[in-house]
Structure 1
Amino acid sequence: METPFDINMEVYIFNWTNSEELSKKGTKPNFEQLGPYMYAARNSRANVVFNSNKTVSFNTVRKFWFVPEKSKGSLDDRITIMNPIVMSMANVAKKEHHLIQRGIHYFMKEFNTTLAETKTANELLFEGIDDVLMELAEKLKMKTFTIPYDRFGFFYPRNGSASYDGNYTMWTGEDDIQKTGIVSEWNFKNYSDSYSGDCGRIDGSTGEVWYPVKNSKTISIFVPDMCSVLTLEHQGSRTSNGIEGNVYVATDKLFDNGVKYPETACFSPNEVLPSGVRDISKCKYQAPAYISLPHFYLADESYRNDISGMKPDPENHKIELIIEPTHGMPVEAYIAFQANFRITQVKGISMFENLKDMMVPLLWVKVAVRVPDNYAFLIKLSLSAGAIGQWIGYVFIFLSIVLFLLGVYLELRMRQISMKFTL
């Protein structure tokens, strides 16, 4: 029902350092990583309903608060990014009538809209930004630009919301322990409309509750921010806090688009993108949004070559889960994702007419969790329960035999005494 301890979330934002040079031919956008901005998070369940078919439905409420003493930087830091609203508007304008494109062009010029947006870290993350372009989209009745919020922020309005992540339906495992924690429906559907084929299936764990993974070569996690499943692969075992567990990691298959692994082509059906990013635009209101590992780790080098400032690091930019295999208890997790926007040329909007097609990073998030000592002790105790129970059983059997023999001895002894008195 509630996370029993706080989870630390590190947020790193990419500051665009040479925005004034974008129009110069041959200039690559340069990005400087700022942070971490540290937040503590705690999750709880709301609207919990146990269903008759051995499933449970619920919403997840996530609460965050800033931890300044663990942060490198202030929420008042002013940071320049490529304006997500401008890029989103341009992305949907590609499919609109040229008159609407020209209207957007003149509106941007009228309000001196630029591709560079400088705001505080707090505004970019949780507080949100007011933007006149969102009002314009509403007035133009652009059906493909339907952001259901009044402000833009990377985590706006997630904090404390019971509806943001949607409604889950999850198997309880009552009838089959191997189904424990598996999501069967999300928002009352067993299929995501964002992808076709197997890429749209609703499956996998929410990440907190698992089935016994002893013989599992892969595990899957359903992520609502991506409207899809992430599949990690088994890579040996390792001991964490005295508990041996199966290690599951992200490989180059995680964000492939059919380039290396044909079965992943349904994540990018309209074009074959270089491996290393996942198109989540349909999941994010047609914004040109893409997910990758931080600094385009394990991605095609073309993404890093188009920009400067990327420094992929296998230790800091990985995804890794350690799960105790017998009971399916997660004992350690290291999760890292990067949010990117794609820039493409848009005829009719001068700001985008001469830009090179490229992927630009906005921020990346890391969550590192290790089960505290007191909970590790309980896990070890549960793993020892079988052996402890067996030995207790042996002790009771031994005591029963001793008591039985003692009883037999006393019975015979009493008979001997009785016979002696009779004689």
Structure 2
Amino acid sequence: MTDATVDSDAATALRDKAVDELRAAGTIVSPRIEAVMRTVPRHLFTPGATLDEAYQVYSAFVTKVDRHGVQLSSVSAPQIQAMMLEQARVQRGDHVLEIGSGGLNAAYLAELVGPDGAVTTVDIDPEVTARAARLLAGNGYGHVRVVTADAAEPIPGVGKVDAVLVTAGAWDIPPAWTQQLKPGGRLVVPLRVRGLTRALGFTLVDGHLESESSKVCGFVPMQGASAHQEELLLVTGTPEIGLRFDDGLPENPGLLDNAVRTPRVELWTGITLGISELLDTLQMHLAIALPGFCIMAVDPDLDTGIVAPANRSFALAAVEGGSFAYLTTRRTEDDKHVEFAVHALGSDAGSLAGKVAGHLRDWNREHRGGPGPVVRVYPAGTPDDLIAGGRVVGGRVIDKVHSRISLSWPPA
């Protein structure tokens, strides 16, 4: 028995173990997704990784960073790849466009579409596409078309496709993505809305996209014309406390200049949450309900205790006039739950804390444990009266460069 045989057997065992874990977790439900993830040798698409690293179920393998150490490209974790493949519902004979290349996901897609289908994978970075082309060709998938281009523009020669899978974090939906879809086609994209990223599975319906599924995720951000930077408001004038806004700063951010000099209001709500309970619907509820929604982060090296979030790198927050508020938690006596509180500072801190607490109670009563909001994407310039859900009480429309995004809760 050779070392290569031992490595192959070990890889097969690790691959099967990862797939078994994803099946048990309910991430993989389709026999076809299970089969391709057992078939394609993931470790051959992650050169430089050990076998254990290649088959870590919940860990991506980073393939490129910039000079500051920021990730530019990676092979997504098996859990993320399985989740998005399930959302895409790719069938045999489909024509599929992948935006964001790595090689491995394109190989999965090639297996799913079979010999009568076609897969094109696109990336803006020629180093990434060269690597993807080399790995695909070297592992029996040379028929996958690899293109170096900015996918914000239509890809020549692709035509209409059944599905578009985006494997980089997007802030907007360029028109090219929907223009290349057949009627009823599917788009799966990690879309950032109000600072929250969700892998959304859309279907093209009557000229707009309508979500069918939503999963919490994180991705390397899009590069090129579709790149978008959040705006940061430093409420102390230093990096100690930063408020990140996804769709522009408040109209008059200077109103917050003296907010940190006021006493901190602390409002405990009595609402508790299990330690392992998901926060996805709470996050979306506040993002929809609060006009000044943002994400607060505290620099641990500069922290003077002005604010006290449970998670210093990510706290749900909101700004209104000269005040800002954020959510925090504390452990309950049984150590199995946490209780929510709203902290607020500023000229009208008590009022804002009460509003945020009221929205927290609304979520607890109406949306906790239920489905997430329906997300609809319309072309920029679509009139309000043509946007479903945008005028519903509890809904919100967010204007981006290429699109208008409607968020609304499904009927009870």
Structure 1 length as normaliser, TM-score? 0.28
Answer 1 or 2: higher relative contact order, Cα 8 Å, separation at least 6: 1
Larger radius of gyration, structure 1 or 2? 1
TM-score, reference length from structure 2? 0.29
